[in-house]
Amino acid sequence: MHFHDCFVRGCDGSVLIDSTPSNTAEKDSPANNPSLRGFEVIDSAKARLEAICQGVVSCADILAFAARDSVEITGGFGYDVPAGRRDGRISLASEIPANLPPPTFNVDQLTRNFANKGFTQDEMVTLSGGHTIGRSHCASFSNRLYSFNSTTGQDPSLDPIYAAQLKQQCPQGSSNTNLVVPMNPSSPTITDVGYYRDIIANRGLFSSDQTLLTNTATATQVTQNAQNPFIWRSKFAAAMVKMGRIEVLTGNAGEIRAKCRVING
């Protein structure tokens, strides 16, 4: 959620704002709904903070701290989060496609997308490791199982045994939009380098995961991360701090929202 916030309008909590009759907000973009979850966790933290020190801690900061805590609780390295972000007042679903990388991107598209936000290719590979935890809806990768291109249904870069498992979990033509699978099946609730080991075994879930093997430099980084858990955890923590600094609002810009789902006033 922190990533989906920061890559659109910077880390301003805009992903938390609810849609209104006159505006479809970021959270209701097809890229975020139904995949983003946990809004109620942010609401709960905000309510408890407001009760203690009203109007001081922004929703954007809460999201940055929650992301760090999620990493640390699941076995990654903790890191100090610079605070002082203020909350934005604009949230537009229409801004998602030009900013958030979809799961179909290839390595060149990912590299350009992250470069536009100030990240190196190595940092892109490092942050992709965020897929070590969490779940995905079938729609984000079902094209790799059933409609890869005009000549083949199944993505040939996908491990056949893994593909068969995914087809059982995501039946073709299913209308159940609630079906989810773990992003990193070997350790779905642990922040570790299992994500990179899965890619090496052709078990990356998204095209945007598996594509990291198609480029010499990124493939080397995947292998190095898989072999050096300590180094990857350190790099991931540093990259998360950097991501949390994208286009932040400070001073008199923005506001401190009283409730994270609605702008003040």
> In the annotation, is 4 catalytic?
yes
Distance CA 213, CA 81 (A): 32
132 has binding-site annotation? yes
Ligand-binding annotation for 61, yes or no, is no
Is 159 marked as a binding-site residue? Answer: no
Q: Which residues contact 118 (CB under 8 A, 6 or more apart)?
A: 242, 246
To the question of whether residue 55 is assigned a binding role by annotation, the answer is: no
Q: Is 50 annotated as a binding residue?
A: no
12 is in an annotated binding site: yes
Which one of the listed residues 1, 2, 3, 4 is annotated catalytic? 4
Long-range contacts of 36-40 (CB under 8 A, 24+ apart): 36/1, 36/4, 38/1, 38/66, 39/260, 39/261
14 is in an annotated binding site: yes
To the question of whether residue 101 is assigned a binding role by annotation, the answer is yes
> Residue 5 corresponds to which tokens in the numbers above?
């916030």
Q: Which residues lie closer than 8 Å to 59 by C-beta, 6 or more apart?
A: 13, 16, 42, 46, 87, 257, 260
Sequence ranges of the binding site:
5, 8, 10, 12, 14, 26, 101, 131-132, 192
Catalytic residues: 4
Sequence ranges of the binding site for heme b:
131
Sequence ranges of the binding site for substrate:
101
